[in-house]
Amino acid sequence: MIRHTVAFRLKHKSGSAEEKSFLADALVLANIPSVRNFEQLRQTSRKNDFTFGFSMEFDDQAGYDVYNVHPLHVAFVRDRWVPEVADFLEIDYTRL
């Protein structure tokens, strides 16, 4: 199992229509067949400047690879992520 996580901060004002639209449109990632347990999370710690997080799981590396090249993921990254995300940190985990 691979857990893919990303913490990020948007360029949009908190609570804005643009922020809400971004988060709503990101739900498309849950429709990619290899994605399991997709979650959108709100950051609560004051230890960093990130505001949101996405978390999802894949059964294996092959599923993660399918996700990375899937047209829904590629389009979301190109059309929404790149122009609208101010900063992010991506971390992928496997169980020990």
What is the tens place of the pLDDT at every residue in 44-65? 988 999 999 999 999 999 999 9
Domains and CATH numbers, the chain: 2-94 (3.30.70.100)
**3-class SS of residue 84:** helix
Amino acid letter, 92: D
DSSP state of 74: H
83, 10 Cβ separation under 8 angstroms: no
> For residue 43, what pLDDT is reported?
94
What is the rounded CA–CA span in Å between residue 74 and residue 58? Answer: 17
76, 26 Cβ separation under 8 angstroms: yes
pTM above 0.85, yes or no: yes
CA dihedral angle for residue 5, residue 10, residue 16, residue 22, rounded to 10 degrees: -50
